[in-house]
């Protein structure tokens, strides 16, 4: 399977039509991958760039704008997410639609939606762990994590801050994830070492493939391309770096082909999860997450 992570810097967000056109152009350059990941916060970034939403200066302002303009945001989200489904069908690829702001009653979740290669909606994953600024802004936590069938593989999704919480990757691995996609958003500056502490570490600890794409927003609310990468267990990657391809900040995309034979050989030779008392995780952590009902 060929994977692709698209950077926000390679997309024209001035209108839904220009977004669709430039995304398809990037996918063609990547030799038409089967799974495509869009950047974190791609939906609000596109809303701002196309004039549908004012630029926020901080996360709290973004949440309040969505709540104040409830119907307008719902209309935009429906249009943009519907477009992602159409694009997935046109490309004949599974598309992880970055992340959006999902409104449910009086709560706002950071959510990633998944579309199949026919354009059908496969499911969603809400961000489970919120950092201090997101809590202060008024976002709500998700409660459940799971996997989705993507051809012959199982896909897990880590949204935003979840990539820096090791238990998220461990749960997804124990649920059978073969590949994990991470749409990431960062408020403030970007450091090339942040990704190493996030999904890269999760991939090495759990022996699945990884795919990540970052958005970085400055203090004035402008969005910039962070890193995009295709990750692998070190033993299966060129030079044992843990990367099949790493696109530095500002690069349009990263893509790579997954060699499942190599990964399965690694799992046979060094079954990492089998050495870690997986019964403890299966019996406790997934159940714990499933029943979390508050933001405490």
pLDDT digits (tens, 9 = 90+) for 83-98: 999 999 999 999 999 9
Inform me whether the pLDDT recorded for 73 exceeds 70. yes
- pLDDT at residue 233, rounded to an integer: 97
DSSP classification of residue 246: E
pLDDT digits (tens, 9 = 90+) for 44-58: 999 988 988 887 777
Inform me whether the pLDDT recorded for 72 exceeds 50. yes
Inform me whether the pLDDT recorded for 223 exceeds 80. no
Residue 134 pLDDT grade (very low, low, confident, very high; cuts 50, 70, 90): confident
Domain containing 48 equals: 2-290
- pLDDT at residue 290, rounded to an integer: 52
As a whole number of angstroms, the distance between CA 60 and CA 58 comes to: 6
- pLDDT at residue 286, rounded to an integer: 60
Exposure letters 192-229 (e unless 16+ CB within 10 A, then b): eebbeebbbbbbbbbbbbbbbbbbbbeeebebbbbbbb
Q: Can you list the alpha helix ranges (DSSP code H) found in 104-242? A: 132-137, 166-174, 194-195, 201-206
Is pLDDT larger for residue 195 or for residue 230? 230
Model pTM score:
0.90
Examine residue 80 and state whether it is found in any structural domain, yes or no.
yes
Is pLDDT larger for residue 203 or for residue 286? 203
pLDDT digits (tens, 9 = 90+) for 185-201: 887 767 778 888 899 99
- pLDDT at residue 292, rounded to an integer: 41
Q: What are the beta bridge partners of residue 4?
A: 36, 255
Joined tokens for residue 202: 């999760």
Mean pLDDT of the chain: 88
Examine residue 102 and state whether it is found in any structural domain, yes or no.
yes
Segment 216-241 shows an average pLDDT of 84
Inform me whether the pLDDT recorded for 179 exceeds 50. yes
Is pLDDT larger for residue 68 or for residue 287? 68
Examine residue 295 and state whether it is found in any structural domain, yes or no.
no
Cα three-residue angle 215-236-145, rounded to 5 degrees: 50
Inform me whether the pLDDT recorded for 213 exceeds 90. yes
For 42-89, the three-class secondary structure string (H helix, E strand, C coil) is HHHHHHHHCCCCCCCCCHHHHHHHHHHCHHHHHHHHHHHHHHHHHHHH
Examine residue 33 and state whether it is found in any structural domain, yes or no.
yes
- pLDDT at residue 295, rounded to an integer: 38
As a whole number of angstroms, the distance between CA 180 and CA 198 comes to: 12
Examine residue 296 and state whether it is found in any structural domain, yes or no.
no
The number of helices, as runs of H, and strands, as runs of E, in the chain is 10, 13
Percent of the chain scored above 90 by pLDDT? 60
**Other beta carbons less than 10 A from residue 173's beta carbon:** 24
Residue 218 pLDDT grade (very low, low, confident, very high; cuts 50, 70, 90): low
- pLDDT at residue 234, rounded to an integer: 96
- pLDDT at residue 188, rounded to an integer: 73
Task: Kindly report the CATH number assigned to the domain that includes residue 81.
Answer: 3.60.110.10
- pLDDT at residue 293, rounded to an integer: 40
Number of domains in the chain: 1
pLDDT digits (tens, 9 = 90+) for 272-282: 887 777 667 66
- pLDDT at residue 156, rounded to an integer: 97
- pLDDT at residue 287, rounded to an integer: 57
Tokens 């990540």 sit at which residue? 212
Examine residue 156 and state whether it is found in any structural domain, yes or no.
yes
Is pLDDT larger for residue 159 or for residue 295? 159
């Amino acid at each position: 399977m060929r994977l692709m992570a698209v950077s926000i810097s390679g997309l024209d967000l001035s209108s839904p039509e220009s977004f669709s056109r430039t995304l398809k152009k990037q996918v063609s350059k990547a030799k038409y991958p089967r799974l495509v990941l869009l950047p974190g916060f791609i939906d609000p970034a596109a809303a701002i760039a196309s004039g549908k939403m004012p630029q926020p200066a901080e996360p709290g302002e973004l949440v309040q704008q969505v709540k104040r303009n409830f119907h307008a945001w719902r209309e935009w989200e429906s249009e943009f997410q519907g477009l992602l489904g159409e694009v997935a069908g046109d490309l004949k690829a599974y598309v992880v639609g970055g992340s959006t702001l999902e409104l449910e009653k009086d709560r706002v979740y950071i959510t990633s939606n998944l579309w199949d290669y026919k354009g059908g909606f496969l499911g969603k994953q809400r961000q489970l762990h919120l950092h201090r600024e997101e809590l202060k802004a008024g976002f709500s936590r998700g409660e459940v994590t799971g996997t989705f069938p993507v051809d012959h593989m199982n896909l897990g999704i880590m949204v935003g801050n979840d990539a820096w919480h090791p238990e998220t990757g461990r749960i997804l691995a124990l649920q059978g994830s073969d590949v994990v996609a991470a749409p990431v958003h960062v408020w403030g500056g970007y450091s090339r070492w942040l990704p190493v502490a996030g999904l890269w570490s999760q991939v090495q600890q759990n022996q699945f493939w990884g795919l990540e794409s970052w958005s970085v927003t400055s203090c004035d609310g402008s969005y910039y391309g962070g890193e995009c990468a295709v990750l692998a267990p070190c033993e299966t990657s060129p030079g044992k770096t843990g990367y099949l391809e790493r696109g530095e900040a500002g690069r349009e995309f990263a893509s790579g082909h997954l060699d499942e034979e190599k990964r399965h050989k690694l799992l046979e030779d060094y079954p990492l999860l089998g050495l870690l008392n997986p019964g403890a995780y299966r019996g406790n952590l997934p159940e714990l997450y499933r029943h979390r009902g508050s933001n405490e």
